[in-house]
Structure 1
């Protein structure tokens, strides 16, 4: 899959209202869930105990932490878009994030993104990106929301 290359404020601004891509699918493994649990000290059984989850969970297996799926944003975004000609990129925020459906272990997820808004804030570009985290084979996404980046483009 070819990345979309963005080199300037004007190129980013031209994408307002457009879907800019879909990432490749990524499988969420039990190992990844366990590593996230270790990193965040969140070892709730619904994430880390496959036997108990199979017996007691309404999902029939372990599920990824919601914040694990959110933490995948940067990785999946980088598969789709390369912003060039910048001094600095800052993850500025997340708005309107809503979890719709849990991601069951071994599910495949991908990011779909569109540019919602681009503003010039005295030389710094603020980009609001609408994101949907799809789960392969499910009509309902894992989450939907808006991520905000600040780009410091190099001006010639």
Structure 2
């Protein structure tokens, strides 16, 4: 299976390097409210701007941590085109995930990926681990860091 072997060889050459930086996405109150409705997580720090401004140190609402995490898929689309011979990519989970900084409503986020590891699992699957950092524009401390696993599936 030449395509998967070529992809493995190419990926191994990139180990430890930054392999992608996504476009910025604005996390605004309508996005937060939609996520709250979809997940039934309507805690006031997310959906009540007046109360959040008065009762939190954030000056307003903050996004759900899982909303921030869910944007990783969008960031990956920006950074990882299909490889020659690849038919799909599958989210395989996380080895580590930490939420480091709250995301205030109106913030802009982007994903930064560093390839940590790649292994050939079988004749159709490459397992890639990327160090993912979701950055908040204008802040030194990111929203989250994670070790994200993905399968690249070949025909």
Match of 1:67 in 2: 66
Matches within 5 A, 1:75-90: 75-84=74-83, 85-90=85-90
Is 1:8–1:153's contact at 8 Å kept on the other side of the alignment? no
Shift of 1:31: 0.2
Residue by residue over 1:97-147, the C-alpha shift from the partner in whole angstroms, topping out at 9 and shown as x without a partner, is 001000000001110101000001122100001000100110000000111
The gaps in structure 1 that reach 5 residues or longer are: 1-6
Is 1:61–1:104's contact at 8 Å kept on the other side of the alignment? yes
TM-score (norm 1): 0.91
Q: Which runs of 4+ in 1 moved over 3 A?
A: none
d(CA) in 1 for partners of 2:88, 2:141: 35
TM-score (norm 2): 0.91
Residue by residue over 1:74-111, the C-alpha shift from the partner in whole angstroms, topping out at 9 and shown as x without a partner, is 10111122023212321001121001000000001110
The gaps in structure 2 that reach 5 residues or longer are: 1-5
Q: How many residues align?
A: 148
- Aligned to 1:20, the other structure's residue is in SS state strand
- Aligned to 1:89, the other structure's residue is in SS state strand
CA-atom RMSD in angstroms: 1.2
Match of 1:130 in 2: 131
d(CA) in 1 for partners of 2:16, 2:57: 38
d(CA) in 1 for partners of 2:115, 2:73: 16
Whether 1:35 aligns to 2:34 is yes
- Aligned to 1:8, the other structure's residue is in SS state helix
d(CA) in 2 for partners of 1:83, 1:122: 18
